Structure 1
Amino acid sequence: MVKASMVSVIMTVYNGEEFLRETLDAIFAQSFKDFELVVCNNGSNDSTQDILDSYEDPRLKIVHQTIEKPTFGDGIRLAYANASGEYIAVNDGDDVPLLHRFESQVKALDADENTALVTGWFDEIDENSEYVQTCRLPETFDGLLEAYQSANPLAHSTYMYRKDVADEVGGYAAKYHYGSDFALALEMIKAGWKVKVLPEVVLKLRVHSGQASNAPELSEMRAYEARELFHEAANLPGLSSVARALGRKNLAKRTIQYGFVLCHEKKWAAGLKQILSGLGQSPLYGSTYFGFRLACALKIIKHPVYS
C-alpha cells in the first residue's frame, strides 16, 4: 500500500496556459517534498491539459471537471475531494509559491495543535510578473478578527490547513460559488480553532484582468456572497467592541452595495429592499455610504460602482 503524502496541494485551473508552467515549476521545486499535487482542470479549452500532461512527476494527480460551466467553487471542491494528505495547501494556477512556503507552514501546524489554518504575507505581481506591492497581514489572532470586519485579508493561495478540521466544519460550502475559501476560514474560527499568520512572504499572488472571478456577469453573485459572508464575520465569537462596530458598518455597506447591484440589473424591488435594510443596520454610516453610491450611480463623481 502506498503511503499517503503528508500534504495535498490542491489547485483548480481554467484556461491557465499563460502562467501554469511557472506555477507548477515553483511547486515541484519546493524545499518540502512530501506532497501530492491535485489539479482540477476546470473545463479549460486552451492548452492547459497539454501543459499538465507534459509533467511526469509522480506526485501530480489530474482530475477533470465533468459539469458544464463550473465555478471556482465546483473546481476546488473536486480537487479537495481527491486529496488524501493530513494537511491541505492551496495554490491557484497563476500564483507562485516561494521556495520554503510549504516547509514553513508545515512547521507552524506541527508546532501548535490548536491552529487549524496557517497563512502568510504575499507579494502581488502583475501579468508580467512585475512586483506591485507586499500585503502584510495582522500577526495576532485578535488583529485578524478585526481585519475580517472590513475585508477578507487572506489570499486563498496562501492557505495550509488541517484536512480533518476542514472535514469537520463541512469543507468548501456548496452554497458559495466564489467565497467558499472565506467561508471555510470563518467556520474554523467559529468552531474554536485558531488561524496563524506567518510574518513572512510565502507567495507571489498574480493580479490580472483574465481571472475568472473578474467576469462582469458575476457582479450580482459576488455582491450576494459578500453580504452573506460578512454577516458571518460580524458574528464571530471573541470580537472586541471596536471590531463589532466595524462589522456593523461593513455589513451595512455590503448590504447597500448588493442593493445597488440588484438595481443595476433592474431588479428594483429587491434592490430597494436591500438598500433600506442596510440603512437600518447602521443609519449614520449607511446614509453616508448610500449618498456616495448614489452620486457614483448618477455619475456626479467617478468611482467603479458595481465592484
Structure 2
Amino acid sequence: MNIFESVVGMGVYIEDQLKWVKQSVESILSQSYQNYLLVLVLDGEVRADVFEFISDLCKTQNNILLVRSSHNVGLSACMNYVIDWTLTHLPSAKYFFRMDADDISLPDRFKKQIKFLKKHKKTQVLGTSLIEINEFSKKVGKRKLPKKHEDIFRILPKRCAINHPTVVVRTDVFKAGHRYQEDLQNTQDYFLWIELCAAGYKFANLPEPLLEFRRVNNFYKRRGLSKSINEFKARFYAMKVLNRYSIGNIVYAFAVLFLRLMPSKIVKLAYKIDRYLLNKRVRHE
C-alpha cells in the first residue's frame, strides 16, 4: 500500500448509471499518471449492474479499494472517510484527488496537476477549468475560473472559485484537521474552500480544461431551495471570515438567492448568461 503517492476519492450513488460510471472509472484507470489508489465508496444501495461492474473490476485491478456504506450518508461523510482512511493506512499519500461517478477526467489530468504542485510548493489546493457535457456526452459549455490565488480569494464571497470535481488537495491540509462539513448535503466544497482560505492556504486553477463535467437535464432542478440557501449562507460566511463585507457582495448574495428561486427555465437562462460573462471576464494568458 505504501507505494501509492495519491488517492482518488469517488462516491457512487443509486442515481448513477452504469454507462456513466464506466466512463468515469475508465477515465481514471487510463490516466498517464498511475501512482494512485482509487477508493470507490458505494454510498448506500446502488444499481445492481453498477455493483456488478465495480465488483468485477476490483478482481482484476490492484489499485482499487471498494468501500460499502450500509445506508446513504452523503458526499461529505464519504470523502471524510476516504481522507481519514488515507491518513491512517496510507501515510505515503501526498495528494487527494476528487472525482465524481458521472464525470470524465482527461488522460493527463493527474499528471499535469501533480506537475504544477511539485513546481509550486506553496499551492495546497489546485483545480482546473472544465468542459460541460450532457447525458449524451455532447459538449454544452465550459467553465473557467481565475488562475491565481489573489483572484480566487477576491471572488470567493460571490462564487465558489474552484470546480470541485477537478480538485486535488495536498494531504497536509487534512493532516492539519480540516474536513468537509458532514451536516451539509450540498455546497460542502464551497464552505471548505472558505475555511481553508481563512486559514491561509493557497489556491490555484489550471486554465486548461482537464475534466468533462456531466450537466444533465435535471441539473437546474437540483439547484433547489436547500442548495440556494446554503450558497447564500456560504457567501455571508465568506464575507465574515475573510473580512470581505461590501455593498456589492451583499447585493449579489440576495440577488442570486432570489434568482435561484425562480422557475427552472429562468434559472437555466441565468446560468448560461453567468457562465458566458464569467468566461469573458476571466482571462487566462
Give, as a single letter, the amino acid of the residue that structure 2 aligns with 1:96.
Answer: I
* Structure 2 gap segments, 5+ residues each: 272-285
1:281 alignment partner in structure 2: none
More relative contact order in 1 or in 2 (CA 8 Å, sep 6+)?
2
Q: Residues 128-176 of structure 1: CA distance to partner in whole angstroms, max 9, x if unpaired?
A: 1111122121122222223323222422110000122134252111232
Aligned-pair CA distance for 1:73: 2.4
- The DSSP-based 3-state class of the residue aligned with 2:19 is coil
Contact 2:125 2:170 in 1 (8 A): yes
1:82 alignment partner in structure 2: 85
Q: Map of 1:201-280 to 2, 5 A cutoff? A: 201-209=209-217, 215=222, 219-237=224-242, 244-253=246-255
2:36 alignment partner in structure 1: 35
Distance 1:76 1:144 in 2: 23
Distance 2:11 2:243 in 1: 33
Give, as a single letter, the amino acid of the residue that structure 2 aligns with 1:48.
Answer: V
Residue identity over aligned pairs, in percent, reads: 19
Contact 2:3 2:35 in 1 (8 A): no
Give, as a single letter, the amino acid of the residue that structure 2 aligns with 1:73.
Answer: S
Q: Please state if 1:73 is matched with 2:76.
A: yes
1:10 alignment partner in structure 2: 9
1:50 alignment partner in structure 2: 52
2:266 alignment partner in structure 1: 303
1:283 alignment partner in structure 2: none
Contact 1:38 1:82 in 2 (8 A): no
Aligned-pair CA distance for 1:253: 3.3
Tell me the matched-pair count: 258
Contact 1:119 1:160 in 2 (8 A): yes
Q: Please state if 1:187 is matched with 2:186.
A: no
Aligned-pair CA distance for 1:206: 0.9
Moved more, 158-167 or 97-106: 158-167
Distance 1:246 1:97 in 2: 36
Distance 2:221 2:19 in 1: 17
Query: Where do 4+ consecutive residues of structure 1 move more than 6 Å?
Result: none
Contact 1:123 1:205 in 2 (8 A): yes
Aligned-pair CA distance for 1:187: 1.4
Change (3 A) 1:253 1:106: same
Contact 1:8 1:38 in 2 (8 A): yes
Q: Map of 1:285-304 to 2, 5 A cutoff? A: 303-304=266-267
Larger Rg belongs to: 1
If the length of structure 1 is used for normalisation, what is the TM-score?
0.75
Give, as a single letter, the amino acid of the residue that structure 1 aligns with 2:27.
Answer: A
Aligned-pair CA distance for 1:236: 4.9
Distance 2:110 2:39 in 1: 15
Distance 2:100 2:233 in 1: 24
Q: Please state if 1:25 is matched with 2:29.
A: no
* Root-mean-square deviation (Å): 2.7
- The DSSP-based 3-state class of the residue aligned with 2:158 is coil
If the length of structure 2 is used for normalisation, what is the TM-score?
0.80
Q: Map of 1:77-226 to 2, 5 A cutoff? A: 77-83=80-86, 84=90, 85-209=93-217, 215=222, 219-226=224-231
Give, as a single letter, the amino acid of the residue that structure 2 aligns with 1:303.
Answer: I
Give, as a single letter, the amino acid of the residue that structure 2 aligns with 1:63.
Answer: V
